[in-house]
């Protein structure tokens, strides 16, 4: 019976994590969708062909206003690389598009606090600068030229240019925001579902002693500012491998980072864990498909070194300033249900999400009518091109995993209800 109770509590904790983050997801993806629709990106991409400060800064800005889905970020980076973006600017885009996006920042603030949010923003910029320096120092020209030839640009199209003032005043523009909002959710809902479920079960089933042993938390003695350097270094070095082992990704990593923080992991370890979403094996494999394995492993090595140096720098900078957070927000607090501000924000989020989905419906309806009219005029069916995002097999591993997670969540709710009665 205790095991069944723990299982049910793990499900309730996972759902509680998502409930408390729901409004942040909706708001973040709504803002992200609006930025992507109303910001003309073609003018930015034309300025990324060099490795200078301007090019790298624009790549970071472009990444910050782009999709936060890790797979989409890599696809967009490949497209930029094919269109002439410098390799350094391409890596900068990868970092920014997964670490400097709005919705991730809101989630970090909700689960971990303002100190981690500030570190995420400052550290994201620092990682870009460090990666640019490391690539300059080690620049493997033959490897990068081979990656350029290996990259597949099939299906990539030039970004359209437009007058954003006209678009933002038009119904069509806002319909595109609704469509982009829906596309964002289609790209990340699996990652979110898996990540939050894993975090909920880990919070309940994995004792804090496991994290304290893995990250040598006992050596901290409750004072991170005076933690031995070798312990801080060990935390920064091992955190990316822990993140890679979870196979979760940026958005799903945040509740798990909260669990790690509650378990006594150092500030450097937490930041290294959060930054490591691009280190998970599936994403390294995607880069290998785009650029070849040698280039993919080189990118991973640059990212790993940048993450470790950034995590160490942030830890000691926070120690000097005296703002290293000792501990984290209580797991029960960030997974609790109640009639509070979160409840009313979620009600508003449902309304906003419904409006955006209605706009998406209107956009699809208008596109369908236009297509039918053109088919009638030309006397043939042109059809819509459907893009394969790697899920052509219905029973792929990821789909099987999603099915297992849904069954586990449903089972936990049934057990919780039975135990309550």
Q: Two tokens at 170?
A: 């038009």
Report pLDDT for 150. 81
H-type helices in 100-224, by residue range? 102-111, 114-138, 141-150, 164-168, 171-205, 208-214
Nearest to 30 by CA among 335, 387, 359: 359
Report pLDDT for 352. 94
Report pLDDT for 177. 92
Nearest to 102 by CA among 179, 184, 174, 164: 184
Nearest to 338 by CA among 5, 19, 12: 19
Placement of tokens 């650029």 in the chain: 291
Asked whether the beta carbons of 209 and 258 are under 8 A apart, the reply is: no
Interhelix angle 341-378/2-38, rounded to 10 degrees, is 50
3-state secondary structure the chain: CHHHHHHHHHHHHHHHHHHHHHHHHHHHHHHHHHHHHHCCCHHHHCCCCCCCHHHHHHHHHHHHCCCCCHHHHHHHHHHHHHCCCCHHHHHHHHHHHHHCCHHHHHHHHHHCCHHHHHHHHHHHHHHHHHHHHHHHHHCCHHHHHHHHHHCCCCCCCCCCCCCHHHHHCCHHHHHHHHHHHHHHHHHHHHHHHHHHHHHHHHHHHCCHHHHHHHCCHHHHCCCHHHCCHHHHHHHHHHHHHHHHHHCCCHHHHHHHHHHHHHCCCCHHHHHHHHHHHHHCHHHHHHHHHHHCHHHHHHHHHHHHHHHHHHHHHHHHHHHHHCCCCCCCCCHHHHCCCCCCHHHHHHHHHHHHHHHHHHHHHHHHHHHHHHHHHHHHHHCCCCCCCCCCCCCCCCCCHHHHHHHHHHHHHHHHHHHHHHHHC
pLDDT digits (tens, 9 = 90+) for 267-321: 999 999 999 888 878 788 888 888 889 999 999 999 999 999 999 999 999 999 9
Nearest to 68 by CA among 159, 168, 185: 185
Report pLDDT for 155. 41
Report pLDDT for 17. 84
Residues of the chain scoring pLDDT < 70: 1, 41-44, 67-69, 71, 152-161, 218-222, 247-252, 327-330, 332, 334, 370-395
Report pLDDT for 254. 83
Report pLDDT for 89. 92
Asked whether the beta carbons of 287 and 299 are under 8 A apart, the reply is: yes
Identify the three-state secondary structure at position 224: helix
Asked whether the beta carbons of 33 and 63 are under 8 A apart, the reply is: no
307/299 Cα distance (integer angstroms): 12
Q: Two tokens at 98?
A: 């997964």
């Amino acid at each position: 019976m205790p095991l069944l109770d723990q299982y049910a509590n793990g499900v309730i904790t996972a759902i509680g994590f998502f409930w408390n983050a729901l409004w942040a997801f909706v708001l973040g993806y709504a803002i992200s969708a609006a930025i992507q629709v109303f910001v003309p990106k073609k003018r930015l991409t034309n300025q990324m062909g060099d490795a200078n400060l301007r090019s790298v800064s624009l790549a970071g800005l472009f990444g910050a206003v782009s999709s936060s889905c890790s797979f989409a970020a890599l696809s967009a980076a490949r497209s930029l690389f094919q269109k002439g973006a410098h390799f350094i600017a391409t890596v900068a885009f990868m970092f920014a598009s997964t670490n400097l996006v709005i919705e991730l920042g809101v989630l970090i603030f909700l689960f971990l606090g303002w100190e981690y949010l500030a570190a995420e923003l400052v550290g994201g910029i620092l990682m870009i600068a460090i990666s640019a320096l490391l690539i300059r120092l080690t620049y493997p020209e033959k490897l990068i030229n081979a990656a350029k030839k290996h990259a597949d640009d099939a299906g990539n199209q030039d970004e359209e240019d437009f007058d954003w003032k006209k678009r933002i005043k038009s119904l069509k523009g806002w319909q595109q925001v609704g469509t982009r909002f829906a596309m964002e959710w289609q790209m990340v809902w699996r990652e979110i579902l898996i990540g939050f479920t894993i975090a909920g079960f880990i919070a309940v089933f994995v004792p804090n002693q496991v994290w304290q042993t893995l990250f040598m938390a006992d050596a901290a003695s409750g004072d991170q500012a005076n933690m031995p350097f070798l312990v801080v270094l060990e935390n920064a070095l091992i955190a990316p491998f822990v993140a890679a082992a979870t196979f979760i990704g940026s958005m799903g990593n945040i509740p798990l980072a909260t669990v790690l923080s509650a378990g006594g992991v150092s500030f450097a370890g937490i930041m290294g864990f959060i930054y490591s979403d691009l280190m998970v094996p599936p994403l390294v494999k995607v880069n290998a498909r785009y650029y070849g394995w040698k280039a993919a492993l080189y990118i991973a090595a640059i990212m790993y070194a940048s993450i470790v140096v950034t995590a160490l720098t942030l830890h000691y900078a926070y120690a000097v300033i005296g703002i290293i957070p000792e501990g984290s927000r209580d797991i029960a607090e960030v997974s609790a249900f109640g009639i509070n501000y979160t409840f009313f924000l979620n009600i508003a989020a449902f309304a906003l999400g419904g409006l955006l989905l209605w706009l998406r419906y209107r956009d699809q309806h208008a596109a369908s009518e236009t297509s039918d009219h053109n088919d009638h005029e030309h006397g043939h069916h042109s059809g819509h091109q459907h893009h394969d995002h790697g899920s052509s097999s219905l029973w792929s591993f990821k789909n099987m995993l999603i099915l297992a997670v849904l069954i586990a969540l449903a089972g936990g709710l049934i057990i919780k209800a039975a135990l309550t009665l």
